[in-house]
Amino acid sequence: VTPVHTLNLSKCRSKLNHPKRDLEWRERELQVNPDDSYQRRAAKIYTHGYEVGPLLECTRCRNSIGPFPKCVVAYDEQGYIARGCCANCVWYHRTDVCTLRNPLPCAALAEAKLPMGPWGQACANYCFGEHL
């Protein structure tokens, strides 16, 4: 575990200001390369985002691919960060294959007729409330 207060994530452009967890590693502790914008963004998504849970996990997270043990997506007042991709896919620059991009968490929850929880605000901001 890397405590979130030890990370310099100030170069991340998102407006995520309230960390929810420290940086947890699946196997061994890695270092966030401060020059790699994908790693910085992934660390910010993981520490400040919401765990999607087993129902919505992306395929890569379900198969334990990526440095983080949880499938986490983040949003700010403008909507989903990284177009709804999870922190693990962002870390490895695989935003093109993250299965959370389509359907987005709010769309998947609406289709399953499950409560939106924290995803309602992301849907309102990013999808203009289409799934509410």
For residue 89, pLDDT beyond 90:
yes
Alpha-carbon span 49 to 61, nearest angstrom: 15
Q: What is the pLDDT of residues 23-51, one digit of tens each?
A: 999 887 777 787 888 998 999 999 999 99
User: For residues 73 and 67, what is the distance between their CA atoms, to the nearest angstrom?
Assistant: 15
User: For the residues of the chain, what is the DSSP string, one character each?
Assistant: -B-GGG---TT--S------S-B--SSS-----TT-HHHHHHHHHHHHSEE--TTT--HHHHTT-SSSSS-EE-EETTEEGGGG--HHHHHTT-TTT-TTSSS-HHHHHHHTT---TTHHHHHHHHSTTTT-
Q: Kindly report, residue by residue over 56-71, the tens digit of the pLDDT.
A: 899 999 999 999 999 9
Q: Give whole-number Cα distances, 103 to 3, 29, 59, 109, 123, in Å.
A: 32, 31, 12, 9, 12
